[in-house]
Structure 1
Amino acid sequence: MASPLDLDQLQTFVAIADSGSFTRAANEVFRTQSAVSMQMRRLEERIGRPLFEKDGRTNKLTEEGERLLSYARRMLHLNRETLAAFDDRRLEGTVRIGTPDDYADRFLPEIMARFTRTHPRVELTVICEPTANLIDHMKRGQLDLALITHDRSLGSSEVVRREPLLWVSSTNHAVHEEAVLPMAFGRPTCCWRRAAVEQLDRSGRDYRVLFSSWSAAVIGAAVLSGLAVSVLPECALRPGMRVLGETEGFSPLPDFEIGILRGASSRPEIVDALARHISESLDNISVPLIEESGSFDFAGLSLSRMKRQKPGQVLAGW
């Protein structure tokens, strides 16, 4: 029987993948650089494939390294989860988390399931409001942690995921072909709305705002029923939605980032544990199957991604 993989080697491997440097990874895992290099040589021998290749001054994962990375993260998470299940000093208490409902629908099931299995004695209190409201709650001490759309103008957050913002319509309707485009948007303060309006104005496209709401369910219903076009993050796409690209006359929109914002909590160890679970969950969540311009494409929208804006152009949302 094949011998099991070494978790210490996998932890070092993940640290290198995240930092892009053997030196920085060595500091994170409290080993010398030569010890880290030896660990990776042994891991490559165990896997039987090269895991890294040089890319300038950084160490880039090979295709086989990318494959191993997702397995390594899951194995390390399961190891922590197993140890926590038998820890008599398990965390107890309540943690208050806030998130926009776009993210709640897509991300919370995985986050809550993982966290509850590891910390069954911790009670989660969840509220769903736009990012600006959540930041206000945080300033007033009413939240311990928030999963928000990263907005540098509203305060710093730890970025844990980046996604494209997309034009969406219904697969069963041709509302996007109307002369005056009916739109469903968030409130006027929504940055996603502003980005879409700027793009429509630049292209000279006639439009009218038919629905305006902070509720993702309302916006989604307007799109799925064929009443309006909207802009949604990739994580909020649902079956029955169609992504519109340049072939339909819709230019690419900027990316945006999702971040974790922490408040001043009396139980920082619980907040740290939840933040770690969120980061790991978002790293493992894939994108659903979506129809684009009459074809299907998994985990991304090939046309829109190939023709997207310049790298580094990021949009803050709700």
Structure 2
Amino acid sequence: MPHLLDIDQLKTFVAIADTGSFTRAAEVVHKTQSAVSMQMKRLEERLGRDVFERDGRHSKLTEDGERLLDYARRIVRLNLECLASFGDVDLTGRVRLGVPDDYADRYLPEILARFARSNPKVEVTVVCEPTPMLVERVQSGDLDLAIITHTDAKGYASEIVRVEQLLWVTSSRHCTHEETPVPLALGRPNCNWRQSATEALERTGRPFRVLYSSWNSTAVGAAVTAGLAVSVLPESAVRVGMRVLGPSDGFPALPSCKIGLMRNRHEPTALASALAEHIVQSLDNLSAARLTMAAE
């Protein structure tokens, strides 16, 4: 009978793959460098394959190591999810969740309510910041989880948990969208939604100017409802007082918005796994509710 893989060794293996260094991985998993090296030696002996090769000061995965990495991530995650599913009522401690403020308004009430009912002894610390900052916090270990705008950019490594259409919006009481150039209220220059909006207008040759720029969705929404500017929002973020614009209004179709869940892969915990499960279920419920209302 083949030997079973050791979960602790796999956690260390993932940490090395993510940090690119035995030394940095040792800090992440709270072990000495010699202990980390011994763990990897035993893992390779168990597999009968080399999973690392030296590339200067960095540790590079071999082809077999690349193949193992996906399995290792899934095995570690499933182990935590299994423990969380049998021990929800006994979970205690603190879990740190990051979310942009425009997602916080729409998603957090359902997520926190579900999680609190199952885990009344757990403290949830919520940090509201833009996606780029949350990505950095997860990568540095300051956050356990983050709900972010998913992109294919290197380092984001989030799993897509929801997809919504990105829409043009204006005030329902004003004709701001008819102005030339079109005044826009958008996020900062590296915001994906801003880039999608400006690129779409440039392709159609419609002149525009960015009148308001802010990471804060409340400030952007206020500029729209006051009739000062046009903006772009995911479908579920459209509020009372806003009107959706389309091609008939001179505004081209926009791409979909992918919402991703990013996990701290260096130090996964049963608490983070339990909260992640509730996040996925809550966003699924929101999708189902929207479809039900549309059918009615």
Aligned residues: 208
Cα-to-partner distance string for 1:151-198 (whole Å, 9 max, x where unaligned): 121421111100111100011111001122110010001111111111
CA distance in 2, matches of 1:264, 1:122: 21
Show the counterpart of 1:201. Answer: 202
CA distance in 2, matches of 1:195, 1:233: 12
Do 1:103 and 1:235's aligned partners in 2 also have CA atoms closer than 8 Å? no
Structure scoring higher RCO (CA < 8 A, sep ≥ 6) equals 2
Cα-to-partner distance string for 1:7-32 (whole Å, 9 max, x where unaligned): xxxxxxxxxxxxxxxxxxxxxxxxxx
When residues 288 and 102 of structure 1 are mapped into structure 2, their CA distance, relative to the original with a 3 A threshold, is farther
Residue 182 in structure 1 maps to residue 171 in structure 2: no
Cα-to-partner distance string for 1:252-307 (whole Å, 9 max, x where unaligned): 00112111111046561111110110001001115999xxxxxxxx659xxxxxxx
Please list every run of at least 4 consecutive aligned residues from structure 1 whose deviation after the TM superposition is greater than 2 angstroms: 264-267, 286-289
TM normalised by structure 1 equals 0.62
Show the counterpart of 2:254. Answer: 253
Give the letter aligned to residue 123 of structure 2: E
Give the letter aligned to residue 223 of structure 2: A
CA-CA distance at 1:89 after TM superposition: 5.6
Please list, as runs of the form range in 1=range in 2, the aligned pairs for 1:197-276 lying within 5 A after superposition: 197-264=198-265, 268-276=269-277
Give secondary structure in 2 for the equivalent of 1:155.
coil
CA distance in 1, matches of 2:294, 2:255: 18
Show the counterpart of 1:134. Answer: 134
CA distance in 2, matches of 1:156, 1:264: 10
Do 2:116 and 2:122's aligned partners in 1 also have CA atoms closer than 8 Å? yes
When residues 180 and 141 of structure 1 are mapped into structure 2, their CA distance, relative to the original with a 3 A threshold, is same
- Over the matched positions of the two proteins, sequence identity in percent amounts to 54
TM normalised by structure 2 equals 0.66
Give secondary structure in 2 for the equivalent of 1:231.
strand
Do 2:162 and 2:258's aligned partners in 1 also have CA atoms closer than 8 Å? yes
CA distance in 1, matches of 2:239, 2:294: 13
Cα-to-partner distance string for 1:3-57 (whole Å, 9 max, x where unaligned): xxxxxxxxxxxxxxxxxxxxxxxxxxxxxxxxxxxxxxxxxxxxxxxxxxxxxxx
Give the letter aligned to residue 149 of structure 1: T
CA distance in 2, matches of 1:126, 1:226: 32
Show the counterpart of 1:93. Answer: 93
Give the letter aligned to residue 124 of structure 2: L
Do 1:223 and 1:229's aligned partners in 2 also have CA atoms closer than 8 Å? yes
Greater Cα shift, 260-269 or 224-233: 260-269
Higher helix share: 2
Show the counterpart of 1:192. Answer: 193
When residues 171 and 287 of structure 1 are mapped into structure 2, their CA distance, relative to the original with a 3 A threshold, is farther
Cα-to-partner distance string for 1:42-74 (whole Å, 9 max, x where unaligned): xxxxxxxxxxxxxxxxxxxxxxxxxxxxxxxxx
CA distance in 2, matches of 1:122, 1:251: 45
Give secondary structure in 2 for the equivalent of 1:285.
helix
Gaps of 5+ in 2: 1-84
Gaps of 5+ in 1: 1-82, 290-297, 301-318
Show the counterpart of 1:158. Answer: 159
